């Protein structure tokens, strides 16, 4: 199986110049053939394949105006053409948007598909030699590729893709359900007790610092050296916000994975929630990132991560008598069931319902099937995610803090 390790690298001045040339050449090749493919498609109705672009690139390198393309590793430019071809395939398969032209002011990266290794505690790359790196764990398998990137704050990272013989074994532990929200980021129920994790809100924590940096940036003259310096100061604040959020979510997901063999969550529509008035808080919480972290960590350790369909009314359903309370709105955090008179905490009740539904799905092996429909009509379910719906979910605004 394949695994990835992202490490920070510290290239010297000569290596930084070589990387800058590689970034520039890769960006030029991508933009050049994106434009050429678009032009050819408009004229003939047919684009360029990878083979066509690779042959044309070989001829371009022989021209005196493009001799500087020979200064970088040929494999990185060929990989850029493969990435462009993949971008077009993803677009025509409706998995992504149409490819855009790359800008040097954004995140820059190149991929070395071969001839990479770990040597003398550093990372050996083609035409760069050994680059100093902070490698946190040993890599025993064969390195398949290395992707080197530069952030807007001039930090360099390398994502190492390598083969590993570590096979996931059956994980032992509890079965817990989690409910994501804004008042409590995560509400966990393991069948016996509840636990809650408060949100960190990194954007609001550093809002004052970010506002001052951006105000100073607005006063700088466009094109000046001082403006370029201030842009990096603003970027450092954004990087601090992103790192704070990522660190917190890694710790939360690590704790959940260590304590459980199976975790059950709701398949939230993050894009839909981000279009509501709670968009800033939704993005700041990082729901999608947390679910992604839990999913891949459980998969590595042989655990089970199950997402109950978003049409399941986990928030509105009474855990005691299964009465569905359609009168709940976003402001109601606690409610009493009109049928059985049980007092419910909104988040705790949702986790109980999610856990029961998840165990039912695991035991019957009918992933995505529910006996109670959220909208009282037939809903076609495919796997754990619903791809085709017959109406809009009535409780979607409620699940933003459910």
Please give the positions annotated as active site.
179, 266, 347
**CA distance linking residue 111 with residue 254, whole number of Å:** 29
For residue 154, what are the contacts with CB-CB under 8 A and spacing of at least 6? 232
Pairwise CA distance, residues 185 & 178, whole Å: 10
Give dist(CA 178, CA 268) in Å, integer.
12
What is the enclosing helix (H) or strand (E) of 345? strand 343-345
Q: Where are the beta strands (DSSP E) in 104-204?
A: 108-112, 117-119, 122-125, 129-134, 143-150, 156-163, 174-180, 186-189, 194-197
Please calculate the CA angle 374-377-378 and round it to the nearest 5 degrees: 105
Mark out the alpha helices in 45-118 (DSSP H runs): 50-61, 74-92
- Distance, in Å, from the CA atom of 393 to the CA atom of 13, rounded to the nearest integer, reads 55
Instruction: Report the Cα 50 to chain-centroid distance in Å.
Output: 28
Count Cβ atoms below 10 Å from residue 160 Cβ, excluding itself.
20
φ and ψ at 137, to 5 degrees? -145, 165
Burial 119-146 (b: 16+ CB within 10 A, else e): eeebbbbbebeebebebeeebeeebebb
Other Cβ atoms within 10 Å of 62 Cβ, number = 10
Instruction: List the structure tokens of 366.
Output: 């009918």
Cα dist from 18 to 12, 239, 329, whole Å = 10, 25, 58
């Amino acid at each position: 199986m394949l695994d990835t390790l992202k490490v920070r690298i510290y290239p010297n001045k000569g290596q930084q110049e070589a990387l800058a040339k590689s970034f520039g050449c890769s960006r030029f090749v991508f933009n050049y053939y994106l434009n050429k493919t678009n032009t050819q498609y408009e004229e003939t109705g047919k684009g360029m394949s990878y083979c066509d672009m690779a042959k044309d690139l070989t001829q371009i390198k022989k021209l005196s105006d493009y001799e500087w393309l020979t200064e970088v590793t040929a494999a990185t430019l060929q990989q850029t053409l493969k990435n462009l071809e993949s971008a077009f395939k993803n677009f025509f398969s409706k998995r992504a948007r149409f490819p855009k032209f790359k800008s040097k002011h954004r995140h820059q990266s190149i991929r070395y598909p071969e001839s990479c290794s770990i040597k003398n505690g550093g990372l050996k790359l083609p035409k760069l030699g050994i680059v100093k790196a902070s490698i946190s764990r040993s890599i025993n398998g064969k390195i398949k590729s290395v992707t080197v990137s530069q952030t807007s704050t001039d930090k360099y990272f390398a994502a190492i893709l390598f083969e590993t013989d570590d096979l996931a074994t059956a994980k032992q532990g509890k079965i817990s359900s989690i409910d994501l929200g804004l008042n409590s980021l995560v509400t966990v129920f393991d069948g016996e007790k509840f636990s809650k994790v408060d949100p960190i809100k990194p954007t609001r924590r550093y809002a004052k610092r970010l506002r001052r940096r951006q105000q100073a940036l607005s006063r700088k003259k466009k094109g000046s050296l001082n403006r370029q310096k201030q842009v990096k100061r603003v970027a450092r604040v954004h990087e601090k916000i992103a790192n704070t959020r990522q660190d917190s979510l890694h710790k939360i997901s690590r704790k959940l994975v260590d304590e459980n063999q199976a975790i059950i969550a709701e398949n939230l529509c993050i894009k839909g929630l981000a279009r509501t008035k709670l968009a800033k808080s939704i993005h700041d919480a990082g729901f999608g990132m947390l679910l992604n972290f839990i999913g891949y960590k459980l998969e590595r350790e042989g655990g089970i991560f199950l997402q109950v369909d978003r049409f399941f009314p986990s928030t509105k359903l009474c855990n005691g008598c299964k009465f569905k309370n359609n009168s709940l709105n976003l402001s109601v955090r606690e409610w009493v069931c009109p049928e059985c008179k049980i007092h419910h905490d909104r988040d705790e009740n949702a986790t109980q319902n999610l856990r029961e539904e998840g165990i039912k799905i695991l035991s019957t092996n009918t992933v995505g099937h529910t006996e109670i429909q959220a909208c009282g009509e037939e809903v076609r379910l495919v796997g754990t995610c619903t791809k085709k719906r017959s109406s809009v979910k009535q409780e979607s605004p409620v699940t933003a803090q459910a």
